[in-house]
C-alpha cells in the first residue's frame, strides 16, 4: 500500500506541471493584455509599460513561467494586481467559505443519493424506482443557476422563510477562528449565530447538491442492481440471511465502489469552486472570487485558484483509490506496483 501511495504521489508531479503550463499559456499568451484593464482606459503607454515591468510581464514567457514555478514551490503564488496582497492570503481568506458549502452539499447529496439509489434498485421497476429516476433526471437536467434562482424566488421572495444570500447576518458573523462559520459558532458557544449560519446555508446547499445527488442516485441504482444479481448475493440469500442484511451489508458494500469514485469527483468539483452557486447566492468563496478576477484579468489569482483545484482533484483521486482497498478486499495494490 505504501509503495503504491508513493508511486501515485510521484505521478502527481507531471499532472500538476501540465496544468500550470496550460493555465500559464492561457493567461499569458491567449488572453488580452491586462495592463489597460487594470490601469484603466486613460492610462498612458508609459504607465502601462512601467506596470508591466513592475509585474514581470516584460520578461520572456519562459522566464515568467520559471519564476511562477519557483515561487509556487516556496508557497508564493504572486500578488493580486488589484489588492497587492499575496494570492495565497487572498485564496485562504475565501476558501473556508467554499469548504463549508461544499462539505454540506456533498453530505446532503451523498446521504440522499445513496438512499434513493438503494431504494430504487431494491424496488426495481416499481413506482419508487420510477419516481427516483425522474427526480435524478430533473436534477441532472436543471442548470444550477436556474435551480438557485427558483429556490430564492420561492423560499426568500414569496414565502420569506430563508435568506437569499450571504453566509450570515452582518451582526452575527463570528470573528476570528477558522473561517468555518459552523465550527466557529459552536466553539464560541454562540447558538444564535449558529442558527443564522445554518439558515443561510440551506438554499445554496440544496442548489449545489441537486446535481451531485442526481448523479449519485443514478450511479448507486445502477451499481446496486448489478450487485443484487451477483452470485455472492444469491448465496447470502440461500443461507437464510434477512433481506435487510443482504441488501445493506453485502450488495451495498460492493455497489459503493463506483459510487465512491463519483462522490470523490463531485467533492473535488465542489471544492474547486461552485462558481454559479456562489455567484447566485453572493457566497464569498473562491468560485465567486474567481469570476471577479477573470473579469478583471487578475492573472496571478486565476493561476493560483486553478493550481489549487488541480491539487484537490489529484489528492481526492488518491484518497478514493485508498478507500477502494477497504471497500473491496479483492483489490491488491501490491500487484499494481509490480505491474
Write out pLDDT tens, residues 53-106: 988 888 888 888 898 898 888 888 889 998 889 999 999 989 999 999 999 999
How is residue 238 written as a grid cell? 440461500
- Cα–Cα distances (Å) from 84 to 81, 158, 272, 298, 299, in that order, read 6, 42, 23, 11, 12
At how many degrees (to 10) do helices 191-228 and 252-271 cross?
140
Give DSSP secondary structure letters for 113-135.
Answer: HHHHHHHHHHTTTSHHHHHHHHH
Cβ atoms of 287 and 275 closer than 8 Å: yes
Q: What is the pLDDT confidence band of residue 333, given thresholds at 50, 70 and 90?
A: low
Confidence check: pLDDT of 336 > 70: no
pLDDT at residue 312 in the model: 85
The rounded percent of the chain whose pLDDT value lies above 70 is 93
Residue with cell 478486499: 329
Give DSSP secondary structure letters for 246-301.
Answer: IIIIIIHHHHHHHHHHHHHHHHHHHHTT-HHHHHHTT--SHHHHHHHHHHHT-HHH
Confidence check: pLDDT of 222 > 50: yes
Percentage helix, strand, coil for the chain under 3-state DSSP, each rounded to 5: 75, 0, 20
Cβ atoms of 169 and 196 closer than 8 Å: yes
Confidence check: pLDDT of 19 > 70: yes
pLDDT at residue 277 in the model: 85
Give DSSP secondary structure letters for 49-94.
Answer: HHHHHHTTTTS-HHHHHHHHHHHHHTT---B-TTT-SBHHHHHHHH
Q: Using CB atoms within 10 A of its CB, is residue 120 exposed (0-12), middle (13-18) or buried (19+)?
A: buried
Write out pLDDT tens, residues 22-62: 988 888 777 778 888 888 878 888 998 898 898 888 888 88
The rounded percent of the chain whose pLDDT value lies above 90 is 22
Write out pLDDT tens, residues 228-280: 777 777 777 777 777 777 776 667 777 787 888 888 888 877 876 577 788 88
Please give the Cα distance from 11 to 13 (Å, whole number): 5
| Count of CA atoms in the C-beta half-sphere (13 A) of 28 | 21
Confidence check: pLDDT of 205 > 90: yes
pLDDT at residue 202 in the model: 94
pLDDT at residue 224 in the model: 86
Q: What is the pLDDT confidence band of residue 327, given thresholds at 50, 70 and 90?
A: low
pLDDT at residue 335 in the model: 47
**What mean pLDDT, rounded, does the chain reach?**
84
Cβ atoms of 254 and 328 closer than 8 Å: yes
Q: Which residue has the higher pLDDT, 8 or 66?
A: 66
Q: What is the pLDDT confidence band of residue 338, given thresholds at 50, 70 and 90?
A: very low
Amino acid at each position: 500500500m505504501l509503495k503504491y501511495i508513493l508511486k501515485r504521489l510521484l505521478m502527481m508531479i507531471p499532472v500538476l506541471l501540465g496544468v500550470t503550463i496550460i493555465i500559464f499559456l492561457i493567461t499569458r499568451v491567449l488572453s488580452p493584455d491586462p495592463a489597460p484593464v487594470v490601469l484603466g482606459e486613460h492610462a498612458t503607454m508609459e504607465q502601462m509599460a512601467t506596470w508591466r515591468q513592475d509585474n514581470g510581464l516584460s520578461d520572456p514567457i519562459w522566464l515568467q513561467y520559471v519564476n511562477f514555478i519557483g515561487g509556487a514551490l516556496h508557497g508564493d503564488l504572486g500578488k493580486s494586481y488589484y489588492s497587492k496582497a499575496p494570492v495565497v492570503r487572498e485564496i485562504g481568506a475565501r476558501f473556508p467559505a467554499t469548504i463549508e458549502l461544499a462539505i454540506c452539499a456533498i453530505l446532503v447529496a451523498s446521504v440522499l443519493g445513496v438512499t434513493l439509489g438503494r431504494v430504487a434498485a431494491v424496488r426495481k421497476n416499481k413506482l419508487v424506482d420510477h419516481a427516483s429516476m425522474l427526480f435524478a433526471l430533473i436534477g441532472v437536467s436543471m442548470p444550477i443557476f436556474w435551480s438557485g434562482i427558483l429556490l430564492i424566488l420561492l423560499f426568500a421572495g414569496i414565502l420569506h422563510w430563508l435568506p437569499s444570500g450571504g453566509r450570515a447576518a452582518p451582526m452575527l458573523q463570528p470573528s476570528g477562528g477558522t473561517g468555518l462559520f459552523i465550527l466557529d459558532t459552536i466553539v464560541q458557544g454562540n447558538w444564535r449565530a449558529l442558527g443564522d449560519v445554518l439558515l443561510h446555508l440551506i438554499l445554496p446547499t440544496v442548489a449545489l447538491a441537486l446535481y451531485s445527488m442526481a448523479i449519485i442516485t443514478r450511479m448507486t441504482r445502477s451499481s446496486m442492481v448489478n450487485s443484487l444479481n451477483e452470485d455472492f448475493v444469491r448465496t447470502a440469500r440461500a443461507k437464510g440471511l434477512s433481506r435487510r442484511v443482504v441488501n445493506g451489508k453485502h450488495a451495498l458494500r460492493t455497489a459503493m465502489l463506483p459510487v465512491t469514485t463519483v462522490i470523490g469527483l463531485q467533492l473535488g468539483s465542489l471544492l474547486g469552486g461552485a462558481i454559479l452557486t456562489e455567484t447566485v447566492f453572493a457566497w464569498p468563496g473562491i468560485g465567486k472570487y474567481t469570476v471577479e478576477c477573470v473579469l478583471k484579468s487578475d492573472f496571478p489569482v486565476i493561476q493560483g485558484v486553478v493550481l489549487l483545484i488541480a491539487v484537490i482533484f489529484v489528492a481526492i483521486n488518491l484518497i478514493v483509490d485508498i478507500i477502494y482497498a477497504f471497500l473491496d478486499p479483492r483489490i491488491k495494490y501490491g500487484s499494481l506496483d509490480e505491474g
